[in-house]
Amino acid sequence: MKPHVLQLNPILVPSINVKLNERYTMHRLFEQADPEAYVAEHGALMRGVITGGHTGITRAMMERLPALEVVAVNGVGTDAVDIAYARERRLPVTGTFGALTEDVADMALALLLATCRHIGAVDRFVRGGLWPRFPQPSALPLARRVSGMRVGIVGLGRVGRAVAQRVEAFGCPVRYTDLKEIAEVPWAFEADLLRLARDSDALIVCAAADKARDLIDAPVLEALGPRGFLVNVARGRLVKEADLVKALQDKRIAGAGLDVFADEPNVTPALLDFDNVVLQAHRASATEETREAMGEMVLESLAQALAGQRPTHSLTT
Ligand code: 8YV
């Protein structure tokens, strides 16, 4: 009999779904009209869970799955999983570590370029037929040069390093902050986030959000200053959104590029009003290539755990 696996989020790669269906009896909770009733009825069967980085899994849900042997996160952020409880139950919680690094770093660069060069605002200008109506160059403000910008990276994990490498190719001096200095990297460490913000033209948030929240608040934005840009490809709650809105309203920062938000999929409405803000829908890892690689890692983790082995990409066991 095939093991039963509960899937909390859709996977958009057909080949991965084919393999999941071949190997497991899949229970796609997001397709159920009444997910609560579904878990009540079938929860006891589930040996594996697949969830997304943002969705994670609560203790309450894991408690309803007594036969659970593995939580496979289709992502790298495990901040939404109750890790302490998983450890208590000796459950492996796996991630797709390394699979999405390049794409998330690419998204950080895309957001930095789009924000500094007004890509979104000018696209709206052209699309809206405004160019022929306002052909004079003064209709659009001058943009900002990205090449050579001083870039501050908040959190120098895999993604932070990949961002650093990319902006170096743009001739940008890089500094970073993290919990502690990292010995083997060529970039300058700055322990004080306020000082990093003050000495940066762009701050790029790449940190894990397991413990931290509201790292980027009014004082940090004030230090970044009216010519500074903020990019966030990590987690929304690392930025105090009310402070960001206020800083944008008061023109205390120059702009922001955001892929992640505090209350996804709801975006603080005020953020929609700024022309100097570029918004994405938590899509930094959403390429065919990366999502396929992530899916393969999920398959590998399920197979290992359900064969009684320690999954290679387990964080907890
Ligand atoms: C994904 C993420 O969007 O890896 C993470 O932690 O948040 C994103 O890559 C998500 O996990 C997709 O399920």
Which is the closest atom of ligand 1 to the Cα of 9? 13
CATH domain 4-99+289-306 topology: Rossmann fold (3.40.50)
**pLDDT tens for residues 22-40?**
999 999 999 999 999 999 9
Contact criterion met (CB below 8 Å) for 174 and 168: yes
Q: Which of 47, 166, 235, 313 is catalytic?
A: 235
Q: From CA 240, how far away is CA 116, in angstroms rounded?
A: 21
**3-state secondary structure (DSSP) of residue 313:** coil
Distance (angstroms) between ligand 1 centre and the Cα of 283 equals 8
Whether 4-99+289-306 and 101-279 share one fold: the answer is yes
Catalytic residue list contains 22: no
Q: Which of 54, 282, 291, 313 is catalytic?
A: 282
Closest alpha carbon to 76 in 307, 308, 298, 302? 298
Position 105 scores a pLDDT of 98
3-class DSSP state of 45: helix
Closest CA to 86 of 122, 57, 64, 129: 57
- pLDDT at site 23: 98
Q: Distance, CA 89 to ligand 1 centroid (Å)?
A: 24
Domain range annotation of the chain: 4-99+289-306, 101-279
Pocket flag, ligand 1, residue 54 (CB < 6 Å) = yes
φ/ψ (deg, to 5) at 273: -85, -15
What's the token pair of residue 265?
A: 């999929």
Q: Whose CA is nearest to atom 2 of ligand 1?
A: 53
Catalytic site includes residue 264: yes
**Do residues 45 and 67 lie in contact, with contact meaning Cβ atoms separated by under 8 Å?**
yes
Q: Which amino acid is at 121?
A: A
Buried b (16+ CB within 10 A) or exposed e, 101-112: bbbbbbbbbbbb
- The predicted model scores a pTM of 0.96
3-class secondary structure, 176: strand
Written out in words, the top-level CATH class of the domain with range 101-279 is alpha beta
pLDDT at res. 211: 83
Which regions in the chain score pLDDT beneath 70? Answer: none
Do 110 and 167 form a contact (C-beta atoms < 8 A)? Answer: no
Helix (H) or strand (E) holding 265: none
- Token pair for residue 141? 């403000």
280 lines ligand 1 (CB under 6 A): no
Amino acid at 91: L
Q: What is the pLDDT of residue 297?
A: 98
Where does the chain have alpha helices with state H? 14-23, 35-42, 59-63, 83-88, 101-116, 119-127, 130-133, 158-169, 193-198, 218-224, 241-249, 288-306
Counting ligand 1 atoms within 8 A of each CB, the residue from 7, 54, 289 with the most, and so the one to mutate, is 54
**Span 199-239, pLDDT tens digits:** 999 999 999 998 889 999 999 999 999 999 999 999 999 99
Token digits for 308? 């009684």
- For 3, which DSSP code? P
